[in-house]
Amino acid sequence: MLKPSFVHLHTHTDFSLLAAVMSVRGMVEQAAKDQQPAIALTDYGNLFGAIEFYNQALKHGIKPIMGCTFFLCDDHLKRVSAGPRGPQYAQIVLLARNNTGWKNLLKLVSISYLDGFYYKPRIDCELLKRYGQGIIALSGGSNGDIERAMQKGNVEQAASLARQYRDIFEPDSFFIELQRHNNPAEDELNHKMIALAYEEQIPLVAANDAHFLKHDDVDALEAMLALQSNRTLDDMKGGQITQDYALKSTADMVALFEDVPEAIENTLYIAESCNVDLQFGQYQLPDFQPPVGLTLQQFMRQESHNGLADRWPAILLGTPDADRNIYEKRLDFELDVIENMGFPGYFLIVSDFIGWAKEQQIPVGPGRGSGAGSLVAYCLLITDLDPIRYGLLFERFLNPERISMPDFDIDFCMSRRDEVIRYVTNKYGEDKVAQIITYGSMKAKAVVRDVGRVMGMDIGKVNQIAKLIPNDLKMTLLKALEQEPKLKAMEKEDDEVNRLFQLAHKLEGKHRNAGKHAAGVIISKDALTDTAPLFKVAGEDSKVVQWDMGNVEKVGLIKFDFLGLKTLTVIDLACRLIRSHATSDAAKHFKIETIPLVDTPTFDLLQRGQTSAVFQVESSGMRNLLTRLKPDCFEDIIALVALYRPGPLESGMVDTYIKCKHGEQEIAYLLPQLKPILQETNGVILYQEQVMQIAQVLAGYTLGQADMLRRAMGKKKPEEMQQQRDIFMDGAKKQGIDLLKAEQIFDLMEKFAGYGFNKSHSAAYALIAYQTAYLKAHFPQAFMAATMSCDMGNADKVCTLVADCRAMDLAILAPDINASDWEFVPESNAIRFGLGAIKGVGEAIIRTIVHERAERGLFESFEDMVIRLPERTLNKRVTEALIKAGALKSLVPNQHAALLGLSDALEESVRRRKEQLSPQSVLFGGVAAQTQSKPLFPDLPMWSEGEALQHERDVLGFFLSGNPLQEKIFFAKDLGNTDIAHLKMLEQDASVVLPASISGIREHRGKRGTMAFLQIDDLSGSCELICFSKLYAECRDQIHSERPLLIAATLDRSKDEPVLLAERVILLDEVLPELVGRVDISCSEDCLNSSTLEAMTHWLAQTNLEMEQPVKAPAWRFDIRLDNGSIARMERAQAPVWTPDFHLWLQQTFGKNDVHVQCRSWKV
């Protein structure tokens, strides 16, 4: 007797996004294990998982049935409100019978997102009629249109709908779907649907609407649905999801429908009818039209040779003895390879949109990745690095012995990247251009937070668990439990935490959301919907292909990477500022492309490690490496970019490189043939290109074969490596190389290949790093102004950059309506604060103000400003922000009066403008018609300094003109072990001590009491400090005192921004007496007179008597300026105990800036 068979035709995977738990691979593997001959994938509204599913099914020897569960509405172009919970759309399952049906599925899914999206992607019956060919439809079970009518008792409507759907599709292509999930209401519905099917002669089919693999996964689905609807598990209605929504076995389904055997048999009929054949690896290069009379190949050769001629003067400038024949030979070789591989169109398309961008003055990067190794790319202006000068290899980019698509990664100015995408969209057609999707998944930390939230757990407890998970992108819950004993103990001992981990394990790695890839753009030969489904990210207009990068390439679509690089925007703005504020002829005509690559001030800056805001080299680790390496040529910077990675740093390669560079270690070459290859890297195998060159020189590899060797070394597959070792040794033998040394060299290559970096990429980024260093060394005002302008939306970053400017002795001038621009700009020997960095101020308004000021002169008063600006330019919100920032100080009596009297002042100014523009005013000469009026603003006292600073912080995000903390700590050294700006450079769980002030408090009442989320500031920036309930109860008064604090905390790096978890909080004034270890005073000889010494003796006796608790007294140190110009140092073992009064006396006696203290470490 034949074993009964069954095919699942209605399934949902985690590509249904927070609506199903099973993965595509898990589903296919379970179906294959059950020996099911085929299976369908029918995710809600999308085809996200279709290509992965197709490949997985074929891999496991079962037929893939391509499908989708669609949401139905009356008219997909209309949006009808259905209350706060949104409409509940009926569903229909569509399966592709053949390739025609598959193309129609692509179109229907695309239309549902691009035109029909309203809460869900929707289609209607008119679309089904238009695109129903080649499709098999299932009625959808209890959520189907027919079934819903039947559940409401509308039998006639249900019958009418059944006939309508039957007639829409081809004969024998519409089925009434029966589902059985151990639900009495569903059983009653099935009874009626069977009767309807028999009456209307519509075939039946059995399905299970599977959402998870195993019965005990039902709780994971409930948690996922709670997450989707932003509820807790307690809020969810119980019983709606049962264990019966698991992916049932054939035996279970056959038994479940034994009374309707034809419903099971029809699953096989449908599976046999569905035969979609997808072809992979056939590239669909978009059409590029060369000039009339030229082929693509001819045009590419013509443009390349013309480009070489144009580049030749620049080539000679960098390499005076360059041989033109070598360049011509390399160019022709590359052109032959590109033509043979069929890629001239690709190169010309990239060259075209880069050329257009440069014509529009849109900054373009010099190249990124292996594409910089192509001379053709250099001649076509795709890249800006001479590959021959820097030893970059074409075969690293395009291997003639392994056909694969070339892949240029192109950096554009961040703010104008979209203009280039619009250009290619207009050139090739809106229907042929789209961006690529990315899927967000539930990573270890995120899934713990998500599950904790749906379980209704205390937020403090969830944060405590999440912070114990190591901050590693590849971290999993299993690894975290293995690596962190505290976490393991919590999971074992706490039932709630154990439950959290049970659920989190099941959800970890599942897809959570879909978004748009940062760079990938598809340009297609034909309309995209012929090949792929499209999608729209919520709130955006751009089209997105529903498949990720790997699957897009499989179906033959061509990807171009349009990356946005903020540094290019910084460089471009800096150059414009240099030219517009030029004080010399050279500066007026400054171009970043013409700077020399050998410049002493630039290398001096790099060697000092003064590289804040310098591309790629601003981290503390990179600064440390710079000061050790002391780069003195451009090649050192190329190496630097490649060296600063975990592999080289951990392997000792960096130390070897530095010692050899500085002559502290002899450079040793195993063979003399290695010297020309490794000399530039001090004998170290640093670049992947060097591995290729060694194989070429020692073992006779072609560079194409050497690239295959490099790839094999990267994969580290033992059998492949053994094969390559044999080839290498045979080649070395033929070349007459000592075999023992050849073996040693292969071992070295194999070891360093794991660390080896793409030199082409390193060289391109080294050039941008050098350019920014050059700008900082020669034009620090313009460079820092441009850098701050490009970070205006990030107050913390601007705050850090302001501190960097001050460290460079660059003053930051306050915002001023009569001096500031939208951006930060150089002014004299300082930088004027940009009005764009004020919160609540729009660019269009500020541009209008600046334009009026430039055209007709400075504003003389508040009234003058309002009258001269177009009506409705200034509203109350914008003006308030300008007042708080101090930008209107020159136009108003004071900020306090201006803010309180603003409404009346605006109203009166508008009235006066109307009066001035009235016919009578014009007739009688304007000014004569004006009547004397009372002052615009009330007579009020100025804000205190503290009030002014707080308002300033409200609109800037940080203190600019001063800081309440400044007075308390400017004199104290080593009061903390870091500052807020440097938290990002510390490790997870680092112990942090820093002085700070509180700028915001938000309380949260949990099961264990009230905790607080505090916004804290120091002189470098601001961050969040979490104070859990026990500590908050102990130090609540100190936190609310509005006085500076000293804080001990643990660093949490699990979020995008660093967060501090408070361990101890104390008033700074209270703890200073025990921390001051030495009082340093700088004074003239005259200051140390008898009265001063007597007063010091008095303070010593008095402060020691006044202290309630015994405190270790600090030491004295006097640096006394003698009349002859020398300095005499006097030290004393015991000074008075530090108190605010004693500090005040010292400042009054010796001067505020001449008194400092050295602090001891705080023993927390």
pLDDT digits (tens, 9 = 90+) for 600-646: 999 999 999 999 999 999 887 898 899 999 999 999 999 999 998 88
pLDDT attached to residue 1106: 53
Phi/psi at 622 (5° precision)? -70, -35
List Cβ neighbours of 598 (8 Å cut-off, separation of 6 or more). 633, 634
670 DSSP 8-state letter: S
Phi/psi at 1118 (5° precision)? -105, 130
Gap between the Cα atoms of 397 and 374, Å rounded: 7
Q: Identify the CA nearest to 757 among candidates 675, 595, 642.
A: 642
Question: Alpha carbon of 487 to those of 226, 593, 1097: distances in Å?
Answer: 25, 54, 57
Gap between the Cα atoms of 400 and 1148, Å rounded: 79
Identify the H or E element spanning 123. Answer: strand 122-123
Gap between the Cα atoms of 832 and 826, Å rounded: 6
Residue with tokens 């309440």: 964
- Convert the pLDDT of each residue in 306-343 to its tens digit: 999 999 999 998 899 999 999 999 999 999 999 999 99
List Cβ neighbours of 24 (8 Å cut-off, separation of 6 or more). 13, 15, 41, 49, 52, 53, 56
Q: Which of 264-268, 400-404, 1154-1158 has the highest mean pLDDT?
A: 264-268
Average pLDDT over residues 439-448: 93
Are the beta carbons of 876 and 827 closer than 8 angstroms?
no
Is residue 710's pLDDT more than 90? no
Gap between the Cα atoms of 281 and 627, Å rounded: 49
- How would residue 476 be classed by pLDDT, with cut points 50, 70 and 90? very high
Domains delineated in the chain: 14-210+247-273 (3.20.20.140), 296-438+517-567 (no CATH), 591-773 (no CATH), 791-943 (1.10.150), 951-1068 (2.40.50.140), 1073-1159 (no CATH)
- How would residue 930 be classed by pLDDT, with cut points 50, 70 and 90? very low
Give the lowest-confidence range in 22-26, 120-124, 919-923, 1130-1134.
919-923
Give the lowest-confidence range in 26-35, 131-140, 269-278, 1037-1046.
1037-1046
- How would residue 495 be classed by pLDDT, with cut points 50, 70 and 90? very high
Maximum CA pair distance of the chain?
118
Average pLDDT over residues 759-775: 95
- How would residue 931 be classed by pLDDT, with cut points 50, 70 and 90? very low
Task: Check the CA dihedral 446-566-364-761 and report its sign.
Answer: negative
Q: SS3 for 1138?
A: coil
pLDDT attached to residue 929: 41
- Convert the pLDDT of each residue in 936-991 to its tens digit: 899 999 988 878 988 998 999 888 988 777 777 777 777 888 988 888 888 888 99
Residue with tokens 């076509």: 380
pLDDT attached to residue 152: 93
- How would residue 1103 be classed by pLDDT, with cut points 50, 70 and 90? low
Average pLDDT over residues 504-527: 93
Is residue 1078's pLDDT more than 90? no
Average pLDDT over residues 5-28: 97
Task: Count CB-CB contacts under 10 A for residue 904.
Answer: 12
Is residue 464's pLDDT more than 90? no
pLDDT attached to residue 807: 82
List Cβ neighbours of 303 (8 Å cut-off, separation of 6 or more). 348, 351, 379, 380
Gap between the Cα atoms of 993 and 328, Å rounded: 62
Is residue 721's pLDDT more than 90? no
pLDDT attached to residue 500: 95
Average pLDDT over residues 293-302: 95
Amino acid letter, residue 302: Q
Q: SS3 for 176?
A: strand
Amino acid letter, residue 298: Q
pLDDT attached to residue 1134: 73
CA-based angle 835:836:842, to the nearest 5?
Answer: 105
User: Residue 618 is encoded by which pair of tokens?
Assistant: 């601003």
Could you give the strand order of the β-sheet that contains 811-813, starting from the edge strand earlier in sequence? 811-813, 830-832, 825-827
Gap between the Cα atoms of 335 and 463, Å rounded: 57
Antiparallel, parallel or unpaired: β 135-138 and 174-179: parallel
Average per-residue pLDDT in the chain? 90
Which segments of 442-484 does DSSP mark as H helices, in order?
444-454, 459-467, 477-483
Q: What is the DSSP string of 1041-1062?
A: TTS-EEEEEEEE-SSSS-EEEE
pLDDT attached to residue 1056: 66
Is residue 207's pLDDT more than 90? yes
Are the beta carbons of 153 and 141 closer than 8 angstroms?
no
Average pLDDT over residues 1110-1125: 77
Q: SS3 for 285?
A: coil
Burial (Cβ within 10 Å: 0-12, 13-18, ≥19) of residue 159: middle
pLDDT attached to residue 1150: 86
Question: Alpha carbon of 1012 to those of 1000, 1031, 1033, 1039: distances in Å?
Answer: 10, 10, 10, 10
Gap between the Cα atoms of 1160 and 1162, Å rounded: 6
- How would residue 350 be classed by pLDDT, with cut points 50, 70 and 90? very high
**HEC string of 146-157?**
HHHHHHCCCHHH
Are the beta carbons of 1073 and 972 closer than 8 angstroms?
no
- Beta-strand runs (E) in 927-1034: 972-973, 991-1006, 1009-1017, 1022-1027
Per-residue b/e over 140-151, b at no fewer than 16 CB within 10 Å?
bbbbbbbbbbbb
Gap between the Cα atoms of 261 and 1068, Å rounded: 81
pLDDT attached to residue 920: 57
pLDDT attached to residue 910: 84
Q: Which of 264-278, 688-702, 802-816, 1020-1034 has the highest mean pLDDT?
A: 264-278
Gap between the Cα atoms of 830 and 849, Å rounded: 22
Is pLDDT larger for residue 1106 or for residue 336?
336
- Convert the pLDDT of each residue in 546-601 to its tens digit: 999 999 999 999 999 999 999 999 999 999 999 999 888 989 999 999 999 999 99
Is residue 926's pLDDT more than 50? no
Which segments of 14-144 does DSSP mark as H helices, in order?
24-33, 50-59, 99-114, 125-130
pLDDT attached to residue 1118: 85
Average pLDDT over residues 729-741: 93
Task: Count CB-CB contacts under 10 A for residue 935.
Answer: 11
Q: SS3 for 696?
A: helix
Q: Identify the CA nearest to 228 among candidates 473, 452, 518, 19.
A: 19
Are the beta carbons of 525 and 285 closer than 8 angstroms?
yes
Is pLDDT larger for residue 1 or for residue 1156?
1156
Q: Identify the CA nearest to 168 among candidates 131, 218, 118.
A: 131
Is residue 33's pLDDT more than 90? yes
Question: Alpha carbon of 618 to those of 272, 1018, 1028: distances in Å?
Answer: 62, 21, 34
Residue with tokens 């680092």: 990
Is pLDDT larger for residue 699 or for residue 915?
699
pLDDT attached to residue 1: 40
pLDDT attached to residue 919: 63
Give the lowest-confidence range in 283-292, 639-648, 1055-1064, 1092-1101.
1092-1101
Residue with tokens 């010091």: 1096
pLDDT attached to residue 82: 64
